[in-house]
A = this chain, B = another copy of it.
C-alpha cells in the first residue's frame, strides 16, 4: 500500500502550472451535474463546460462531480469559471495531498482520502471538494460507488437532503466517505484476529511480515484520518455564511465519527504491537521447548554412555568384567540413574 514518491513535475518547476500527478492517465474526464431544490431535480451527464459556469449563479443546489481528473485543461477551465485559486486546482491534480480544509473568500476547499476495499485490499482515493454558496464541486479519480447512496437520497427525496443547502450536500458526501472507513477498519480487525490465532499456534517469519505490513497499513490509515479530524475541527470553528449553524450539528457528528475511527485505530495499533511481543516471546518459548528436549535426552544418555564405555575398555585387569552378575548390575545402575534423572526433570517442571 505504501507508494513511493513519483514526481511528474520536475523540482523547481513553476508552481500553479497544472500537471496531473496521479497514475491513471488513461481515464477520460467525465463531468456530471445534479441540480436540485426542494421541488425540482435535473441530472445531466455530459454538460458542456460553458453551461456549467452558469450553475454558480442559480439558487438551486448544484453538485458538479468531476471524475477522472487526468486532463488538466478541463480542470483549469472549470477553475476559471468558478473563480478558483490556481493552487487549489493544482492540489486537486496531485493525489498525494494531506486531508485539509482551506477557506477562501467565497468558497471552502476540502481534501480528504476515500478508503475502500477491493478484493480484500485497502485502496485509497483522493477526493477534493469545493463548497460555494449554492454548489459543491467534487474532484475524484475513480469514485467507485461510494457516492451512489447520496445520489439515491437526492433522487428519492429521502431524508432532509432536498430541503437543505449545498453545505448539507457537502456533509452528506463527507459522511458517506467516513462511513466507509468503518468498513475498512472492520476488515483490518478480521485480519488481526486471524494473525492472533497464527502467532500463538504456528509463528513463522511470514507471520512477522504480515504483522509488519499490518502496522504499515494502520499507519497509513492513521495518516489519512488524523489530518481529516484536524480539517473538520477547522471547519467547525469556521465562521461565515457557507456553513449554516444547522448543518454544523451534522458536521459535529461526522467529527465524532472520525474520533471514533481514530480511537479504534489506536487500539488496533496497540493490539498489533502486542502481536509483535507475542511473536518474539513465542520464538523464545519454542527455543526453550527445543532445548528442554535436547537437555533431557542428552542428560540421561551421556552419563550412561560413559558407563558402558567404561566396561568397553580393554584393560587386562578389570575384575568386574569377570563377575557373573556384573552385567545385570550395570543395567540396574543405569536404570536407577535414568530414573533419578527423570525425577529431577519432573521436579524442575520440565516433564
Contacts and interface: CB of A to CB of B under 8 A. Distances in A.
A33 to B, nearest CB: 20
Interface string A106-130: 0000000000000000000000000
Nearest to A344: B293
Q: Which of A11, A223, A312 has the most CB of B within 10 A?
A: A11
A330 B302 contact: no
Interface stretch (A40-48, A75-83, A236-244, A315-323): A315-323
Interface in A184-230: 185-186, 189-190, 200, 202, 205, 208-209, 212, 215-216, 219-220, 223
A14 B153 contact: yes
A28 interface: no
A302 B219 CA distance: 50
A54 interface: no
A176 B12 contact: yes
Copies of this chain, tallied across the complex: 5
B313 A308 contact: yes
Given A271-B216, A294-B299, A309-B309, A285 B288 contact: no
B2 A267 contact: yes
Contacts of A324: 316-317
A200 B209 contact: yes
A282 interface: yes
A129 to B, nearest CB: 16
Interface string A33-60: 0000000000000000000000000000
Interface in A244-296: 249-250, 252-253, 256, 259-260, 263-264, 267, 270-271, 274, 276-295
16 contacts: A2-B267, A12-B179, A14-B153, A15-B171, A17-B159, A215-B274, A216-B271, A219-B267, A279-B281, A280-B280, A287-B288, A291-B295, A293-B299, A313-B330, A315-B321, A315-B326
Q: Is the interface of A mostly helix, strand, loop or mixed?
A: helix
Interface string A164-185: 0000000110011001101101
Interface of A: 2, 4-5, 7, 10-17, 85, 87, 90, 96-98, 100, 102, 146-150, 153, 158-161, 171-172, 175-176, 179-180, 182-183, 185-186, 189-190, 200, 202, 205, 208-209, 212, 215-216, 219-220, 223, 249-250, 252-253, 256, 259-260, 263-264, 267, 270-271, 274, 276-295, 297-299, 301-306, 308-318, 320-322, 324, 326-327, 330, 348-350
Given A256-B98, A283-B285, A293-B295, A263 B12 contact: no
Contacts of A284: 280, 283-284, 287
